[in-house]
């Protein structure tokens, strides 16, 4: 049901191409996963995403557990059927969301007691329950329930969180019942190299089919993040997919791939879209600004997405000012495509052993 094969190496840095095989098709890596938190990638249909070549999306166990509830998704014969998505799905465990979105009431080794961010209702989530929820949702790849430390965070707390994350990972593995999901382990440890090393050792000893780096891009300086990313990626087995969670600016994707990361997800492309901002090859622009009022060029001259082929900045700004719903879809299509196409170009560059050059050339023009 799940396999990963490396298909090419750049020869410079750790960049590599690969293929992930799932029951819902194969996925070329490195891959960017658009985020479909609540069983929909915001403002987009599956067909919009298929047309861009998206084969894997991320959904969220925490959100779906709270609404519409696992019973309902199960009645619908699983998340794929429910949301009309025929390709791969990875679900996050809910760990990150419990800590970042809900009102935490109690955390101990058993699990987490929290209040729903929607209606305040009380819930107790454990590693076992998270795995059961994810199995019942029916994702192709599921994640261990972990404790993600914030930034900044004192070393003793980070240590406690990573030790708990290891215990929970053992319990997640024990709790797995279905052979249809690949369960990935998550490495924590904040910005402390020795803690990352400890976490990586403990988690990889449990032998998962894939490994994620959690707890990055949570507020730490970029340089710090890149150091820990590089350090931690090197600790993960070469023959398993490596997933950098919640990371997804163009520059971070390039740096991640350089360090041997295979999978990424990020809400930014759809979130930026809702605020009228888009990626271009020269950096981000905010198309709702007055300067674009009579700019009849496409969002990005170098982009060949549906939106750039058919609409002007002036029209899109008009839609934004007029509060027209269509604008969210158009900007989401462009932003998601921008990252999906970037990953496609990255894969081609790696195959041609030109990735370092590609990275350099891209960043010459792109202003983060």
Binding residues for its own copies, rule: CB under 8 A, are: 38-40, 42-45, 67-68, 72, 75-76, 82-84, 293-294, 296, 310-312, 314-315, 318-319, 321-322, 324-326, 328-330
Does residue 93 contact residue 130 with C-beta atoms inside 8 Å? Answer: yes
* DSSP-derived 3-state class of residue 266: strand
Rounded least distance, CB 121 to its own copies, Å: 15
Q: Catalytic one among 252, 262, 265, 300?
A: 265
User: Which residue do the tokens 């989401």 mark?
Assistant: 332
300 in active site: no
Q: In sequence order, which residues have a C-beta less than 8 Å from that of residue 361 and are 6 or more positions away?
A: none
Rg of the Cα atoms in the chain: 20
Rounded least distance, CB 58 to its own copies, Å: 15
Nearer to its own copies, 60 or 149 (CB): 60
Rounded least distance, CB 43 to its own copies, Å: 4
Nearer to its own copies, 287 or 330 (CB): 330
Nearer to its own copies, 328 or 347 (CB): 328
Kind of pairing, strands 182-187 and 25-29?
Answer: unpaired
Nearer to its own copies, 236 or 330 (CB): 330
Asked whether the CA dihedral 316, 317, 323, 329 is positive or negative, the reply is positive
Nearer to its own copies, 77 or 361 (CB): 77
Rounded least distance, CB 120 to its own copies, Å: 16
Cα→Cα distances 327→38, 273, 313, 335, Å? 20, 8, 11, 12
252 in active site: no
C-alpha–C-alpha distance, residues 332 and 9, integer Å: 32
Does residue 246 contact residue 217 with C-beta atoms inside 8 Å? Answer: yes
Q: Catalytic one among 92, 252, 262, 300?
A: 92
Nearer to its own copies, 235 or 316 (CB): 316
C-alpha–C-alpha distance, residues 238 and 105, integer Å: 39
Phi, psi of 6, rounded to the nearest 5 degrees: -85, 130
Residue 230 tokens read as 């590089």
Helix count and strand count (H, E) for the chain: 15, 16
C-alpha–C-alpha distance, residues 176 and 64, integer Å: 19
Residues paired with 184 in a beta bridge: 143
Rounded least distance, CB 273 to its own copies, Å: 10
Rounded least distance, CB 358 to its own copies, Å: 32
Q: Annotated catalytic sites, by residue? A: 92, 265
């Amino acid at each position: 049901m799940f396999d990963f094969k490396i298909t090419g190496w750049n020869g410079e840095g750790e960049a590599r191409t690969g293929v992930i095989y799932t029951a819902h098709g194969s996925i070329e890596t490195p891959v960017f996963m658009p985020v479909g938190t609540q069983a929909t990638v915001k403002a987009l249909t599956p067909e919009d995403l298929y047309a861009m070549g998206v084969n894997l999306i991320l959904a969220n166990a925490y959100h779906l557990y709270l609404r519409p509830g696992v019973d309902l998704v199960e009645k619908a014969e699983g998340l794929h059927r429910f949301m009309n998505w025929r390709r791969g799905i990875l679900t996050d465990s809910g760990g990150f969301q419990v800590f970042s979105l809900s009102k935490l009431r109690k955390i101990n080794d058993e699990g987490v007691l929290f209040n729903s961010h929607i209606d305040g209702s009380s819930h107790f989530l454990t590693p076992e329950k998270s795995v059961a929820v994810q199995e019942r949702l029916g994702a192709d790849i599921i994640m261990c329930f972990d404790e993600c430390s914030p930034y900044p965070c004192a070393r003793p707390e980070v240590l406690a969180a990573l030790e708990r994350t290891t215990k929970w990972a053992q319990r997640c593995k024990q709790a797995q019942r279905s052979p249809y999901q690949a369960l990935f382990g998550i490495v924590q440890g904040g910005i402390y190299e020795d803690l990352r090393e400890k976490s990586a050792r403990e988690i990889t000893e449990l032998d998962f089919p894939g490994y994620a780096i959690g707890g990055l891009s949570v507020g730490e300086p970029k340089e710090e993040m890149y150091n820990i990313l590089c350090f931690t990626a090197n600790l993960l087995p070469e023959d398993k997919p490596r997933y950098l969670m919640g990371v997804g600016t163009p520059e971070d994707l390039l740096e991640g791939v350089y360090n041997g990361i295979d999978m990424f997800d990020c809400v930014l492309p759809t979130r930026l879209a809702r605020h009228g901002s888009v990626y271009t090859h020269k950096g981000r622009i905010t198309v709702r600004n007055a300067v674009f009022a009579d700019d009849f060029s496409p969002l990005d001259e170098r982009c060949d997405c549906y939106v750039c082929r058919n609409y002007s900045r002036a029209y899109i700004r008009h839609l934004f000012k007029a509060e027209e719903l269509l604008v969210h879809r158009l900007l989401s299509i462009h932003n998601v495509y921008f990252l999906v196409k970037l990953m496609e170009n990255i894969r081609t560059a790696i195959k041609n052993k030109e990735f370092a050059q590609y990275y350099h050339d891209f960043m010459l023009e792109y202003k983060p």
